[in-house]
Amino acid sequence: MIVINFITNIISNLTLSEIIMIFFALALAYMAVEKRYEPLLLLPLAFGMLIANISNAGLSSYDEGGLIYYLYKGIELGIYPPMIFICIGAMTDFSPLISSPKTALIGLGGQVGIFAAMFGALGLGHIISYFVPGFVNFTMQEAAAIGVIGSSDGPTSIYITKQLASHLLPTITIAAYSYMALVPLIQPPIMRALTTQKERMVIMPIPKEVSRRKRILFPIAMTLLVLIFVPSAATLISMLMLGNLIRESGVAERLVRMLEGDLLNLLTLLIGLSIGGSATAERVLNIKTLFIIILGLFAFVMGTAGGVLVAKLLCKLTGGKVNPLIGNAGVSAMPMAARISQRLGHEYDPTNHLLMHAMGPIVASTIGSAIIAGIFISLFG
């Protein structure tokens, strides 16, 4: 009886919006467990959202003194995303980009989605304000944070949103990782629509082998260039390059195993739980959330299309040596986008292997989106 009264008391204190958020959290948990959509992140995120919206528990990131409040400091102080970048660097092989620098142009084309969503947010806000009384248009800071969803790079989205529009952090994070999980559904129709049968069957030459010296010099040179010319992006890029240098040095295998495994898993857990703990009803359930979800999808579609179109242009300029199907890797959904390139290429020609070729634009996109995020922070922060 005591337990029943306790549960009844908790339920009676829940608002309608909190109940909606609890069901939303359960839906995300279902997607993670049953559909296996980004389970390493979505599962802790859903659980954090669940406990944050039971206000009596005091377990949201805004309840001072609680567990999630202190875990959220890793987001608030900008610690988790750069640490994730060290892990990503330790997992990344920059050889495809070094051996074929022209694929960086595809990664550049993939950034179209960032600017399309950013200006789309500003334009859409003006239109909506005429029809929805009291609607406050997106600020430049909010629009820039929304735009970076188009990079399909979760840590970068978290980093810039915390800097420019922290109140949008739960919504933008959920949108960014959800669309990353939906890569296999969103990208193939766009790739087929923008390419011809002949282009899809292009066989690309085997990538050139890159010497160990070049692989070691690349992260050092890239770090120095960013520190000199785009210092606002130095935090993310330098950590990415540090992880890669540890990998390519060949003398720190224990560190590489730790970064690729235990540390990456721990950081993913902490980020998911922390962001989920900030997704309270008053933060998420508003009209802007709906438009952010729509703009995020628009950014992802435009980024994919931009990468494919640049790859088509390279195909013509190189006399048919670039398969446009690798253009979807212009967004940095690593490594899922590269796997989609491989799958579609193999579908049209079983002898075609595009995986390593797609890794060139995908790592270029990771670097490019982090640099753009740094520029946005310096301009609008």
Question: What is the tens place of the pLDDT at every residue in 167-214?
Answer: 999 889 888 887 877 788 889 999 999 999 999 999 998 888 899 999
Residue range 89-113: mean pLDDT, rounded: 93
How many other β-carbons are positioned within 10 Å of the β-carbon of residue 224? Answer: 12
pTM: 0.89
| 100-116 burial: b if 16+ Cβ within 10 Å, else e | bebbbbbbbbbbbbbbb
State the DSSP code for 133: T
pLDDT for residue 5 is more than 60: no
Residue range 372-377: mean pLDDT, rounded: 94
Burial (CB count <10 Å: 0-12, 13-18, 19+), residue 128? middle
Return the pLDDT at 3.
52
Tens digits of per-residue pLDDT, 215-236?
999 999 999 999 999 999 999 9
Q: 369: closest CA among 99, 78, 115, 100?
A: 115
Residue type, 297: L
Burial (CB count <10 Å: 0-12, 13-18, 19+), residue 7? exposed
Residue 325 and residue 106 in contact, taking contact as beta carbons nearer than 8 Å: no
Q: Two tokens at 181?
A: 């999980």
Please report, for the chain, the start and end positions of each structural domain, with discontinuous segments joined by +.
78-380
Q: How far is CA 50 from CA 22, 24, 60, 327, 336, in A?
A: 5, 8, 9, 38, 28
Return the pLDDT at 57.
80
What is the rounded distance in angstroms from the CA atom of residue 341 to the CA atom of residue 326? 5
Return the pLDDT at 133.
75
What is the rounded distance in angstroms from the CA atom of residue 341 to the CA atom of residue 324? 9
**What are the φ/ψ torsions at residue 286 (nearest 5 degrees)?**
-155, 170
Return the pLDDT at 243.
97
Mean residue pLDDT of the chain comes to: 89
Residue 226 and residue 238 in contact, taking contact as beta carbons nearer than 8 Å: yes
Residue range 150-164: mean pLDDT, rounded: 89
What is the rounded distance in angstroms from the CA atom of residue 243 to the CA atom of residue 82? 10
Residue 43 and residue 6 in contact, taking contact as beta carbons nearer than 8 Å: no
Q: Where do we find the tokens 């070691």?
A: 216
Q: Which residues contact 318 (CB under 8 A, 6 or more apart)?
A: 102
- pLDDT band at 59; cut points 50, 70, 90: confident
Residue 326 and residue 361 in contact, taking contact as beta carbons nearer than 8 Å: yes
pLDDT for residue 10 is more than 80: no
**What are the φ/ψ torsions at residue 367 (nearest 5 degrees)?**
-65, -45
